[in-house]
Amino acid sequence: MTDSSTALYCLIGDPVSGSISPNVHTAAYAAMGLNAVYLAFRVPSDALRAAVDGLRVLARGFNVTIPHKTRVALMVDELTHEASLTSAVNAVAVRDGYLVGHNTDALAASDLVDKLNARGGAATIVGAGGAAKSVAYALWRKGFSKVFVLDRNPDRAEALASGVKSVYGIDASAAPLSAGSLAEALARSNLLVNATPLGMYGGELDLPEEALGHDLAVMDLAYSPGGTGLVRRARALGLRTADGVEFLVIQAAYSIQFWVGAWPPLDVMMRAAEEVMAGAAREG
């Protein structure tokens, strides 16, 4: 039961209507015996500063999702090592009104690269926003030597590729996202990461099946009941995959550890996520 001492944690972004984060965090807090709640708030871009200022007073911590990760990095008082390198924040700790920005996406992506046994080599990142910046950090951490950045906005792709070169010293190139550019990049890659909402909020990654080689590992940061189209196709071909539900649960676990100083039960969190996704699939 909530009371005056209940801690508020939340998610801010636009959109947030399909997020399963409240279910995942609520399950973790219950298992850990925390007197806390987790809510999702839709915050449009023109209200972001007001929302962050309000949470500075009201919350103990909050997560940040699209499209605010880069802007929030400029609004906090301090950045962790990961957040500083990526210039993107997805988790903020509120400590007596002082905001510390962290990037738990980067840590989750690193863990999933390990799970996929995809260390080193070349990788293709689809997307060039805050999530893509986090993936670039993970690739650097895991010894990748080449990164292809593809985005519908060529300027954003070029900016991320330039950042990968200057910050991490990794050879990186950029191209506008198309079926042709994707196929060309994948022919030289051993890892594909979808760091866009494609497959989650409409649309799917346009991927020619012949581009999915049998030595390719696939990580999709988006999630959807039954799996995104990309993940379903990759699994049907027998490729190693990590999906957006795994990514969300792991970054949520790192967020909770950042906020309360204790590691939450991943099995409880994953079970909560799977129950929500299964229910959504039945309703769909």
What pLDDT, in 10s, does the model give residues 210-245? 777 778 999 999 999 989 999 999 998 899 999 999
- Please give the average per-residue pLDDT across 5-34, as a whole number: 97
Question: Residues 72, 102: contact at Cβ < 8 Å?
Answer: no
Q: Model confidence at 209, in pLDDT bands (50, 70, 90)?
A: confident
Q: Is the pLDDT at 284 greater than 70, yes or no? A: no
User: pTM of the full predicted structure?
Assistant: 0.95
Q: Which residues are catalytic?
A: 69
- Please give the average per-residue pLDDT across 130-159, as a whole number: 97
Q: Is the pLDDT at 200 greater than 90, yes or no? A: no
